[in-house]
Amino acid sequence: MSQDEKSSGEGEPRQPEKQQGGEAPGAPAPAEADGPTEPTAVAPPPPPPPAQPVDPQVLSQVARAPEERKALLANALQGQVAGGARIESQGDFQAVVVRGHRPNHLLHFLIGVFTLGLWWIVWFFIAVFGGEKRQMVSVDDFGNVLVQKV
């Protein structure tokens, strides 16, 4: 059985496609008058242009009621707490949240004594770069939630 016979899936050998006189291979054949005509495919319309990115510096300019501002602050604090922060202090329209923990300096000093001072190098970097990170979350008169490092 030849390769053409195997690929056709039937017991009959495949007939090679006939090409019309001067037409290039792959060109559509002219429609036959007596056979059914297939509808021509219509190209889909081009996609719409991408939306303009929203500028994060654009803030609301509509004054909000105090109750709505308090609700916005509570919603923002809920997200912060869910992300691992804890609330250190809170007012009506602002709060201070803290992430991280203070290093245990006594423990690091004792480990340094037992390692003959080698651990004190690690302790130095933990003391400088570790520890608590504070942020102030506030809601302005227009309902914009602002988060600042403290």
In this prediction, residue 42 carries a pLDDT of 79
Read off φ and ψ for residue 77, nearest 5 degrees: -70, -35
115 within some domain: yes
pLDDT in tens, the chain (150 residues): 555 555 555 555 555 555 555 555 555 555 555 556 666 777 777 776 665 555 556 677 889 999 999 999 999 999 999 999 999 999 999 999 999 999 999 999 999 999 999 999 999 999 999 899 999 999 999 999 999 998
Sheet order of strands, 86-90 included: 86-90, 94-99, 133-139, 145-149
Residue 41's CB is within 10 A of a number of other CB atoms, namely 6
59 within some domain: no
In this prediction, residue 49 carries a pLDDT of 64
26 within some domain: no
39 within some domain: no
Angle, vertex CA 24, rays to CA 20 and CA 29, nearest 5: 50
135 within some domain: yes
- Which residues constitute the domain of residue 143? 66-149
The pTM of this model reads 0.55
91 within some domain: yes
Using alpha carbons, select from 101, 79, 104, 77 the residue that is nearest to residue 91.
77
Paired strand residues for 89 = 96
Tally of domains in the chain: 1
143 within some domain: yes
101 within some domain: yes
Which positions ≥6 away from 133 have C-beta within 8 Å? 98, 99, 100, 149
